[in-house]
Amino acid sequence: MAGLATLGMLAVLSVAVPVFSPYPIDEIFWDAIGTGPSLAGGHLFGTDANGRDLLLRTLYAGRISLAVGLAASVVSVLVGLAWGTVSGYLGGVTDSLMMRFVDILYALPFMFFVILLMVYFGRHVVLIFVAIGLVEWLDMARIVRGETLSIKRREFVEAARAMGAPSMGIVLRHVIPNVVGPVAVFATLTVPRAILFESFLSFLGLGIQEPMTSWGVLISEGATQMETQPWALVFPATFLAATLFSLNFLGDGLRDALDPKVR
């Protein structure tokens, strides 16, 4: 619950920031370039190397990072769950073909294609969602398939099948509820992975365009000067960590709530 609350708060802050912000995101304070956090200076989180308020930028960054994490995870859960259960449950040739497809995509060094994608089509934020979602659903599909395979042979599924329940029904009623535990856990891992993948792109200089920013961009900028301007790393990193911790608790809570065996 605390996780959900923190997450909600971060989200609200990030989404609402333009409303209460006294100045735009790219406002430069020429007299306060690269200064540390201070109440008197008016910059609670300090400023970045260009003299822009870091509190404001961290909150703005949250919008992009949360959106990237969420969008990519939703894509990966939906596609991965559907693909994995169908493939695992049907088995045989269908399974082989579907998994072969996943294998091919898997063996493609995705990072390289994402880089090309960014290079070729520019740095649109939607493209970042798509690219990351495309990478992440493969993992999900494989995990779901693995779980489905072992659930399929369990007594209660065999029983349902013996009683003549339709495949679709079995998948929806028995398989999906049983894979939800691992999926929820993995989804809580996917959000940070998506956020981190975005930061990886930022590290390579392929992240989002200025003046917009993301936690990944801020952290990769901050990491280069961790000795001289630690605040530029600490604040965005704290926000990211808080988000990920919240997702962690959320995932655990989800599992407890959804797991039929615990219930």
Partner 1 sequence: MLETSGKHRLGTSTRTLVIVLFAALLLGISSAHADKNTLQRGNGAEPETLDVHKSSGVPAAGIQRDLFEGLVAEAADGSLIPGVAESWTLSDDGKVYTFRLRKNAKWSNRDPVTAHDFVFALRRGVDPAVGSGYAFILWPIANGEEITKGKIEELDRLGVEAVDAHTLKVTLKAPTPYFLGMLTHPHAYPVHPKTLERHGDKWTRPGNLVSNGAYRLTEWVPQSHIRVERNPHYWDAASVRIDAVVFHPTENTSTELKRYRSGELDITYDVPPDQIAWVEKNLPAQFHNTAYLGTYYYALNLTKAPFRDRPGLRNALAMTIDREILTGKVTKGGEIPAHAWVPPGVNRYAGATVPWKGLSKAERIARAKKLYAEAGYSKENPLKVQILYNTSDNHKRIAIAISGMWKQALGVRTELFNQEWKVYLTTRRAMQFDVLRAGWIGDYNDANTFLELLKGGVGSMNPAGYNSSEYDALMRKAETETDLEIRAKLMQKAEGILLKDMPIIPIYHYTTQHLVSPRVKGWKDNVMDVHPTRYLSLAP
Partner 2 sequence: MIRRLASAVPTLFIIVAIAFFMIRLAPGGPFDRERVVPPEISANLNRVYHLDEPLPQQFIRYLKGLARGDFGPSFKYRDFTVTELIAAGFPVSLKIGLFAMVAAVLFGVGLGAWAANRRNTVADHLVMGLAMTGIAVPNFVVAPLLSLVIGVYLNLLPVGGLGDGGIRHLLLPVISLALPQVAYIARLSRGSVLEVLNADFIRTGRAKGLTERRIVFRHALKNALTPVVSYLGPATAAIVTGSVVIEQIFGIPGLGRYFVQGALNRDYTLVMGVVVTYGTLIIVLNLAVDMLYGVLDPRVRRD
Spatial separation of the C-alpha atoms in residues 82 and 171, rounded to whole Å = 10
Among residues 173 and 255, whose Cβ is nearest to partner 2?
255
Out of 204, 210, 211, 257, point to the residue binding partner 2 (CB under 8 A): 204
Q: Is 33 in the site for partner 1 (CB under 8 A)?
A: yes
- What's the burial of 155, exposed, middle or buried (CB within 10 Å: 0-12/13-18/19+)? exposed
Q: What are the helix (H) ranges across the chain?
A: 2-20, 54-90, 92-107, 110-121, 125-152, 155-162, 167-170, 176-203, 215-223, 231-258
Pick the stretch among 24-32, 68-76, 135-143, 163-171 that binds partner 2 (CB under 8 A).
135-143
- Cβ at position 115, least distance to partner 1 in Å: 8
Give whole-number Cα distances, 42 to 51, 170, 192, in Å. Answer: 12, 60, 31
- Nearest of 67, 50, 49, 48 to residue 58 by alpha carbon: 48
Q: Which does 233 bind (CB under 5 to 8 A by kind): partner 1, partner 2, none?
A: partner 2
Q: Is 116 in the site for partner 2 (CB under 8 A)?
A: yes
Q: Is 205 in the site for partner 1 (CB under 8 A)?
A: yes
Q: Is 225 in the site for partner 1 (CB under 8 A)?
A: yes
Spatial separation of the C-alpha atoms in residues 139 and 33, rounded to whole Å = 43
- Nearest of 239, 233, 232, 234 to residue 33 by alpha carbon: 232
Q: Is 30 in the site for partner 1 (CB under 8 A)?
A: yes
The dihedral through the CA atoms of 131, 135, 140, 145 has a sign that is positive
Q: Is 122 in the site for partner 2 (CB under 8 A)?
A: no
Pick the stretch among 38-46, 68-76, 109-117, 165-173 that binds partner 2 (CB under 8 A).
109-117
N-to-C CA span, the chain: 18
Q: Is 161 in the site for partner 2 (CB under 8 A)?
A: no
Pick the stretch among 4-12, 125-133, 145-153, 207-215 that binds partner 1 (CB under 8 A).
207-215
Spatial separation of the C-alpha atoms in residues 91 and 149, rounded to whole Å = 8
Degrees (nearest 5) of the Cα angle 77, 161, 140?
Answer: 15
Q: Site for partner 1 (CB under 8 A): how many residues?
A: 23
Spatial separation of the C-alpha atoms in residues 220 and 93, rounded to whole Å = 46
Summarize as ranges the residues that interact with partner 2 (CB under 8 A).
100, 103-104, 106-113, 115-116, 119-120, 138-139, 142-143, 146-147, 149-150, 153, 181-182, 185-186, 189, 192, 196-197, 199-200, 203-204, 216, 219-220, 223-224, 226-227, 233, 237, 240-241, 244-245, 248, 255, 259, 261-262
Summarize as ranges the residues that interact with partner 1 (CB under 8 A).
26, 28, 30, 33, 49-52, 118-119, 122-123, 205-206, 209-211, 221, 224-225, 227-229
